[in-house]
């Protein structure tokens, strides 16, 4: 038995950087208002480089963006989920990567276990999000730091997920777009794929290869 363990934001869903156009429409902002691009243009996103250097946490980064965007539309947002739900919470399927759907379906069909290991799933999207996204019903285990309060790359986050899956760490293929989280997964004994948001098809193909699962047509 093997398991595919996925981060949510950036891996299953497209990043907020990739959906600025949808956000601007949803919030009635002029096209081109949102310019921060995170990993797509780190040289022009100082907050992002600070996060990568561990000067601030991932939550610090998104809280800063939440405040900035809220101010643009006259809102005093104090929680990240206010931003995310306003930007794209109404139609969550629009922001799901088709490559993720293909990989999840292929792994499930091959008999693999499925898990989400996230730092902010319900914190970002709200407690009813899973009911509005049928894809999440395919997962056997969801470990969300919204409730555990243990953020990756803390070793306890990986241990909780591995224990819930009931298999050996080395049989877990962990996929995350944050290098520090990948380092945490490797330290926990998992096999890891550092997800490249600019090459999602290749990243998912690499993960399925480690699982020993044949590539679906969508990932060939």
Domain boundaries, the chain: 3-14+93-219, 20-91
**Beta pairing, strands 172-176 & 141-144:** unpaired
What distance in Å separates the CA atoms of residue 58 and residue 42, rounded to the nearest whole number? 15
Q: What is the pLDDT of residue 199?
A: 96
Is residue 175 helix, strand or coil?
Answer: strand
- How crowded is residue 86: how many other Cβ atoms within 10 Å of its Cβ? 18
Q: Give me the residue label for tokens 């398991």.
A: 3
> Taking a C-beta distance cutoff of 8 angstroms, is the pair 97, 198 a contact?
no
Q: What is the pLDDT of residue 204?
A: 98
Please measure the distance between the N-terminal and C-terminal CA atoms of the chain and give it in whole angstroms.
24
Is residue 141 helix, strand or coil?
Answer: strand
Q: What is the pLDDT of residue 89?
A: 66
- Enter the tokens of residue 115: 């898990």
Backbone angles phi, psi at 47, to 5 degrees: -60, -40
- Hey, which bits of the chain come out as E strands? 3-6, 113-118, 141-144, 172-176, 191-194
- Enter the tokens of residue 89: 């919470």
How many CA atoms does the CB half-sphere of 173 hold within 13 Å?
A: 23
Q: Domain 3-14+93-219, what fold?
A: Rossmann fold (3.40.50)
Is residue 118 helix, strand or coil?
Answer: strand
Q: What is the pLDDT of residue 132?
A: 82
Mean pLDDT for each 10-residue chunk of the chain (220 residues)? 96 95 93 95 96 89 96 94 83 90 98 96 80 92 96 97 98 95 98 97 98 95
């Amino acid at each position: 038995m093997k398991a595919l363990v996925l981060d949510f934001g950036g891996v299953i869903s497209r990043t907020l950087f990739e959906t600025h156009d949808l956000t601007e429409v949803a919030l009635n902002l002029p096209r081109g208002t949102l310019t921060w691009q995170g990993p797509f243009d780190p040289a022009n996103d100082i907050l992002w480089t600070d996060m990568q250097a561990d000067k601030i946490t991932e939550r610090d980064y998104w809280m800063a963006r939440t405040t900035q965007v809220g101010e643009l539309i006259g809102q005093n947002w104090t929680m990240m989920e206010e931003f995310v739900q306003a930007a794209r919470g109404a139609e969550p399927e629009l922001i799901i990567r088709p490559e993720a759907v293909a990989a999840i379906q292929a792994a499930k069909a091959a008999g693999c276990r499925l898990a989400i290991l996230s730092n902010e799933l319900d914190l970002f999207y709200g407690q009813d999000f899973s009911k509005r996204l049928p894809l999440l019903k395919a997962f056997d285990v969801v470990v969300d730091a919204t409730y555990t309060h243990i953020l990756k790359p803390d070793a306890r986050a990986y241990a909780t997920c591995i224990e819930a899956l009931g298999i050996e760490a080395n049989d877990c293929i962990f996929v995350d777009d944050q290098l520090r989280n990948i380092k945490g997964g490797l330290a926990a004994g998992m096999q890891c794929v550092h997800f490249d948001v600019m090459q999602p098809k290749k990243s998912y193909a690499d993960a399925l290869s480690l699982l020993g699962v044949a590539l679906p047509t969508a990932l060939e």
